């Protein structure tokens, strides 16, 4: 299982290829460095995501969207069948949100990869998820309770969104997409 956490930070100026190579650590013995195969896998992950041109750049100098793509490459370099994403679009602009989530959707379709994503924006779930587990925090605890489970079209309803978020919403359907819009008293 590989994890891409939300808003990761590092102060050490790793190159992008070195950052992706950290995904190969489970395959490298304790006192050895990455081998030729590890480098091939890391470069292959960068290539698969279309970011090979970033390989020699410093990770800390990349944009938020570029960082997320590098972290996805690191996860792919682990060669697992399960990818866990914790808010993969945190701090990203609209274009980079779309880029990251579209890439993950494509990877899930092509690579027989199971993706478990924690998303706070229900619109992302409508656009990219096959199944949704809608949770709500139990007041005063760190416990969550299940509100709905199923395809986005049946799990993300005005009633379930009210139960989860405590606000009224409209779910607008059109041209193969659905959109959750909060109701405003203006």
Q: What confidence score (pLDDT) does residue 85 get?
A: 93
Helix segments in 81-171, DSSP class H: 94-110, 122-128, 152-155, 158-165
Which contiguous run of DSSP H or E holds residue 70? helix 64-77
- Is the pLDDT assigned to residue 11 strictly greater than 80? no
Q: Is residue 70 very low, low, confident or very high in pLDDT (cuts 50, 70, 90)? A: very high
Residues 99-153: tens digit of each pLDDT: 888 988 988 888 778 999 999 899 999 989 999 999 887 666 677 788 899 999 9
- Among 77, 41, 73, CA closest to 57: 73
Residues 15-68: tens digit of each pLDDT: 999 999 999 998 888 888 888 999 999 999 999 889 999 999 999 999 888 888
Global confidence as pTM: 0.83
Q: 154 is written with which tokens?
A: 């049946």
Q: What confidence score (pLDDT) does residue 186 get?
A: 66
Q: For the chain, which domains are there?
A: 2-118 (3.40.50.300)
The CA distance from 104 to 113, in Å, is 9
The CA distance from 2 to 8, in Å, is 14
């Amino acid at each position: 299982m590989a994890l891409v956490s939300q808003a990761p930070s590092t102060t050490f100026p790793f190159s992008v290829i070195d950052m992706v190579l950290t995904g190969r650590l489970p395959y490298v013995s304790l006192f050895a460095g990455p081998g030729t195969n590890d480098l091939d896998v890391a470069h292959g992950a960068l290539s698969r995501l279309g970011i090979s041109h970033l390989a020699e750049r410093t990770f800390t100098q990349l944009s938020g969207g570029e960082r997320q793509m590098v972290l996805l490459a690191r996860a792919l370099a682990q060669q697992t069948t399960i990818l866990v994403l914790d808010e993969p679009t945190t701090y990203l602009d609209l274009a980079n949100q779309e880029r990251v989530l579209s890439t993950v959707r494509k990877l899930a379709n092509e690579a027989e990869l199971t993706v478990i994503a924690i998303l706070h924006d229900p619109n992302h779930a409508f656009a990219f998820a096959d199944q949704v587990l809608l949770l709500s925090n139990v007041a005063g605890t760190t416990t969550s309770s299940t509100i709905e489970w199923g395809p986005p079209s049946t799990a993300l309803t005005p009633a379930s969104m009210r139960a989860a978020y405590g606000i009224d919403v409209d779910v607008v359907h059109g041209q193969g997409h659905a959109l959750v819009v909060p109701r405003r008293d203006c």
